[in-house]
């Protein structure tokens, strides 16, 4: 192995999984209809609906996750409606006010390890609905959560069922950001399935960018009121790719033989090896994560030593040092992890 710096700073730093590259090569000489009206998108959408047990859902392919987030939210809300979200939620902390730019207020809730609870959501909703729909407040109409969260933690099935129940009670949509969903589904401590998301959420998406696709997210739309003219919202916001078959083909290639779930599970397993190495060294964690994102607290000296061989992401300050994220991916190798573990042991 050479001395090239190894990237643990994100899970989208390689081009694409071999199954995707092979599929793209196989169809390189063919022609297709544009804007997602092609057999590749149809096949991928059919497979996703089958896996999710959602035959009546609509499936739409987006170039990226930020577009999926703000387009879905803007399509779901009218101008006086708002979205409930954790303070650490991606739409609140990482997307340059894209939701606010579409004219919608975000109602932030304090998080615990990246998660918000059904009780918090109910209290936020009741502040509007229990006061006779106060005209000076926006109407909470959509709840946004991520699976996994921004801190690599997971909602349990019980927690998701409770959140979904509150949404049903107040007529709010439940939207699950699944940019890293595969790493959540593949975690050893997870008890949620793709079919659970199809049953409990009105909108969710299955990430591709972080899972071996060159780019792309597959959004599953269950809520009937949102289906009409949804593609028009996508088009208005530049989210309909002319060469749409590229998106559909990538998801079909990853999902048809189960590669998607195999490579994400393996990434979680590699992250657990890294977690155990830090734990054995006596290095603390800012949060307990069972997914591909691990958040450790390093001293300046430890950071300096590891940064000579690895790229990782500082994520804030904590007592005793800096919170640093180490992120495995579908492309992370055993050799890369073994090398990192040796260097952790030598700290």
pLDDT at 3: 55
pLDDT at 134: 76
Mean of pLDDT values over 54-68:
98
Are 6-13+266-345 and 18-255 in the same CATH fold?
no
pLDDT at 129: 86
Q: Which fold has domain 6-13+266-345?
A: 3.90.1150
For the chain, give every domain's residue range.
6-13+266-345, 18-255
CB 67 within 8 A of CB 90: no
Mean of pLDDT values over 248-255:
98
pLDDT at 74: 96
Mean of pLDDT values over 105-132:
94
CB 111 within 8 A of CB 153: no
**Range with the lowest mean pLDDT among 70-84, 124-138, 169-183, 200-214?**
124-138
pLDDT band, very low/low/confident/very high, at 123 (cuts 50, 70, 90)? very high
List, as one string, the DSSP characters of 83-98.
Answer: EEEETT-HHHHTSTTH
pLDDT band, very low/low/confident/very high, at 208 (cuts 50, 70, 90)? very high
- For residue 54, the number of C-alpha atoms closer than 13 Å in the C-beta half-sphere is 27
- CA angle (56 as vertex; 247, 85 as ends), nearest 5: 70
pLDDT at 209: 98
Mean of pLDDT values over 292-309:
97
CATH number, domain 18-255, options 3.30.365.10, 3.10.20.30, 3.40.640.10, 3.30.420.10: 3.40.640.10
Tokens coding 124: 């936020």
List, as one string, the DSSP characters of 180-216.
Answer: THHHHHTSTT----HHHHHHH-SEEEEE-TTTTSSS-
Torsion of CA 282, 288, 294, 299, to 10 degrees: -40
pLDDT at 24: 97
Mean of pLDDT values over 202-230:
97
pLDDT at 51 over 80: yes
pLDDT band, very low/low/confident/very high, at 136 (cuts 50, 70, 90)? confident
| Residue position matching structure tokens 């879905």 | 72
Q: Give per-residue pLDDT as tens, 186-199.
A: 999 999 999 999 99
pLDDT at 21 over 90: yes
Share of the chain above pLDDT 90, in %: 96
pLDDT at 1: 44
Tokens coding 78: 């009218």
pLDDT at 133: 72
What's the pTM?
Answer: 0.96
> What Cα–Cα distance (Å) separates residue 74 from each residue in 81, 87, 98, 214, 342?
10, 19, 10, 26, 48
> What Cα–Cα distance (Å) separates residue 129 from each residue in 25, 33, 126, 137, 139?
54, 47, 5, 10, 8
SS3 175: strand
List, as one string, the DSSP characters of 104-134.
Answer: --EEEE--BTTB--HHHHHHHHHHHHTTT--
pLDDT at 135: 82
pLDDT band, very low/low/confident/very high, at 177 (cuts 50, 70, 90)? very high
Tokens coding 278: 């830090």
Mean of pLDDT values over 90-102:
95
Q: How far apart are CA 108 and CA 14, in angstroms?
A: 34
């Amino acid at each position: 192995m050479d001395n090239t710096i190894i990237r643990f700073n994100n899970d989208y730093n390689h081009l694409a999984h071999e199954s995707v590259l092979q599929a793209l090569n196989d169809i390189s000489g063919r022609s297709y209809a544009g804007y997602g009206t092609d057999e590749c998108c149809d096949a991928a959408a059919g497979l996703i609906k089958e896996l999710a047990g959602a035959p009546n859902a609509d499936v739409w392919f987006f170039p990226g996750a930020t577009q999926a987030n703000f387009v879905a939210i803007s399509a779901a809300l009218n101008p006086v409606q708002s979205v409930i979200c954790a303070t650490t939620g991606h739409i609140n902390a990482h997307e340059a006010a894209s939701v606010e730019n579409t004219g919608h207020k975000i109602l932030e809730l304090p998080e615990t390890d990246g998660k918000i609870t059904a009780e918090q959501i109910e209290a936020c909703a009741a502040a509007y609905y229990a006061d006779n729909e106060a005209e000076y407040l926006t109407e909470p109409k959509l709840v946004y959560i991520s699976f996994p969260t921004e801190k690599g933690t997971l909602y349990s099935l019980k927690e998701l069922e409770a959140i979904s129940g509150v949404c049903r009670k107040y007529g709010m949509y439940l939207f699950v950001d699944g940019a890293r969903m595969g790493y959540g589904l593949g975690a050893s401590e997870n008890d949620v399935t793709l079919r659970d998301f199809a049953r409990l959420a009105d909108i969710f998406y299955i990430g591709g960018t972080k899972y071996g696709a060159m780019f792309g997210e597959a959004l599953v739309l269950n809520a009937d009121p949102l289906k009409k003219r949804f593609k028009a919202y996508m088009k208005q916001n530049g989210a309909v790719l002319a060469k749409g078959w590229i998106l559909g083909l990538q998801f079909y290639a990853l999902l048809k033989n189960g590669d998607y779930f195999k490579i994400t599970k393996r990434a979680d397993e590699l992250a657990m090896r890294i977690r155990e190495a830090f734990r054995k060294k006596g290095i603390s964690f800012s949060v307990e994560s069972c997914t591909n994102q691990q958040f450790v607290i390093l001293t300046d000296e430890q950071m300096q030593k590891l940064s000579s061989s690895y790229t990782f992401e500082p994520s804030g300050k904590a007592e005793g040092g800096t919170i640093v994220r180490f992120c495995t991916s579908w492309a992370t190798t055993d050799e890369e992890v073994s090398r990192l573990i040796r260097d952790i042991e030598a700290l």
